Amino acid sequence: MNKSITSIAIHGGAGTIPRGSLTAEKEKMYLEALRVALEAGNVILKSGGSSLDAVCRAVMELENCPLFNAGRGSVFTHDGKIEMDASIMDGSNLDAGAIAACTGIQNPVLLARLVMEKTDHVLLVGEGANRFAEEMNIPRWPDEYFHTEFRWKQLESIRHTGNTMLDHQEKEKKFGTVGAVALDQFGNLAAATSTGGMTNKKYGRIGDSPIIGAGTYANNSSCAISCTGSGEYFIKCSAAFQVHAAMKYGGLSLEEACHQVVHKELVAMGGDGGLIAIDSSGNICMPFNTEGMYRASIDVDGKMEVLIYS
């Protein structure tokens, strides 16, 4: 491994994002927010930091931005609450941490990392995750911090129907999840994912984002993955782990493995969305089977891409 090799990729959700639905001003806001988060993670890599620190920092930036359905911009449940999920995984030792249905936490990805580093567990949910946050002295933020009028109107538009909404408005269908994957100079991979879930979700619904192997996976022997899409389908086919398995046991390249999962396995089941992936050589793949995916990357040559559409 060339010690100078690093690469990073991030996403802010995939889905049906018609070009006409984004004004030039709003598109510029999304692209700038992606660039800021990407560079925040890349600065850590370029200064000799770990891939774990890089993905955590990048996801925190996205959680702090109300444009994305994670952290501050999370959608509302049927009861008008905000319940957040997140996960993180270290490819060097397969350590992982996750939280689900937590409330009042500014940066859920940080809490997921503390689960990984400070407990013997992988996943904490609901009130247990909140109590753990208190023990770790993570401050609780008031409801007002998370309240965005756009998200509230989304809930109001379908609250009476009993349907859920995957972060879309009118004909726009955007799967609101954020994530990051990275390779550091030591050859270590890491992945992190964070989400506010579905608008109008009930019954404590949890999607793929906090489930290791479904929405997030990292293993130095293959790749690091963060997914975004119709979570139930990603859970059913263990999407993130499938990419790893296709590489490690099937001998496929990163691009081949990602294509198989996103364009074949998911499509055959009726699932849509996408993922971002990095392999142990720093190759990046960001496939999606929807109209667009908010995504950005910096490859091993330092080339930056910030994109929404194909």
Distance from CA of residue 289 to its chain's centroid?
17
What average pLDDT score do residues 43-70 get? Answer: 97
Main-chain phi, psi angles of 309, to 5 degrees: -100, 175
d(CA 147, CA 62): 16
One DSSP character per residue, 50-112 reads -HHHHHHHHHHHHHT-TTSSSGGGPPP-TTS---EEEEEEETTTTEEEEEEEE-S-S-HHHHH
pLDDT at res. 135 = 97
Owner of token pair 């925190």:
60
Q: How many residues in total does the chain contain? A: 310
Phi then psi for 139, rounded to 5 degrees? -65, 145
Residue 50: HSE in the Cβ half-sphere, 13 Å Cα cutoff: 10
Strand partners, 10: 180, 296
Please count the other Cβ atoms lying within 10 Å of the Cβ belonging to residue 7. Answer: 25
Task: Name which residue leads in pLDDT, 310 or 119.
Answer: 119
Q: Taking a C-beta distance cutoff of 8 angstroms, is the pair 233, 180 a contact?
A: no
Active site residues: 177
CA distance 57 to 303: 20
pLDDT in tens, 277-305: 999 999 999 999 999 999 999 999 999 99
pLDDT over threshold 60, residue 33 = yes
Q: Quick check: helix, strand or coil at residue 144?
A: helix
Give the Cα separation of 151 and 81 in Å (integer). 11
**pLDDT exceeds 90 at position 17:** no
Condensed to tens digits (0 to 9), the pLDDT of residues 202-212 reads: 788 899 999 99
What is the rounded average pLDDT of the residues 222-233?
Answer: 96
Q: Per-residue pLDDT averaged across 94-114, rounded? A: 97
Q: Which residues face 278 on adjacent strands?
A: 224, 284
Report CA-CA distances (Å) from 120 to 212, 214, 252, 262: 15, 21, 33, 32
User: Measured on CA atoms in the order 116, 122, 123, 129, is the torsion positive or negative?
Assistant: negative
**C-beta of residue 118 within 8 angstroms of C-beta of residue 224:** no
Local structure of residue 219 (DSSP, 8 states): -
| Cα dihedral value 25, 198, 39, 220, nearest 10 | -150
Find out whether 208 and 175 touch, Cβ atoms under 8 Å: no
First to last CA, the chain: 32
* Average per-residue pLDDT for the chain: 91
* Three-state DSSP state, 249: coil
pLDDT tens digits, 147-205 = 766 665 665 565 666 555 554 334 445 567 999 999 999 999 999 999 998 877 778 88
Provide the token pair at 155. Answer: 């809930």
Which pLDDT does position 147 carry in this prediction?
72
Contact 236, 256 (CB under 8 A): no
